[in-house]
């Protein structure tokens, strides 16, 4: 399961393998920031609070868009990070502004 914490709503849904965090959030009607869906705007930035081992490794767009410190703290781009396997995952949308 994945708990998706948006700006004002949160929901726990099935962690569907292969879907991005943003896709799951939109599907669940959680208010999650996004604009480009291509890994450039950072509006979908989020922090993985639990279960990062169940998610994809940072891809090129994430490595370009996030600095090392952010990656170490579990920050990811919701439109790029995919579920690799089901597990207890908690992610919170934390855009810069």
* Apex 93 CA angle, 1 and 49, nearest 5: 55
Does 37 participate in binding ligand FES (rule CB under 6 A)?
yes
- Work out which of 4, 42, 48, 83 binds ligand FES, going by CB under 6 A: 42
- Work out which of 7, 17, 40, 67 binds ligand FES, going by CB under 6 A: 40
Binders of ligand FES: how many residues, by CB under 6 A? 13
Distance separating alpha carbons of residues 54 and 85, to the nearest angstrom: 5
- Measured from the CB atom, is 75 or 89 closer to ligand FES? 75
Q: Segment near ligand FES (CB under 6 A), from 2-10, 49-57, 75-83, 86-94?
A: 75-83
Residues lying near ligand FES in the complex (CB under 6 A) are found at 34-37, 39-44, 77-79
């Amino acid at each position: 399961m994945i708990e998706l914490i948006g700006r004002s709503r949160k929901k726990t849904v099935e962690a569907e393998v292969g879907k991005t965090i943003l896709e799951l959030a939109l599907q669940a009607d959680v208010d999650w920031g996004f604009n480009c869906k291509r890994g450039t705007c950072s509006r979908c930035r989020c922090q993985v609070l639990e279960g990062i081992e169940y998610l994809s490794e940072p891809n090129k767009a994430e490595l370009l868009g996030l600095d090392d410190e952010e990656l170490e703290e579990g920050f990811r781009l919701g439109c790029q990070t995919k579920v690799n396997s089901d597990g207890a995952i908690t992610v919170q949308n934390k855009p810069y502004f």
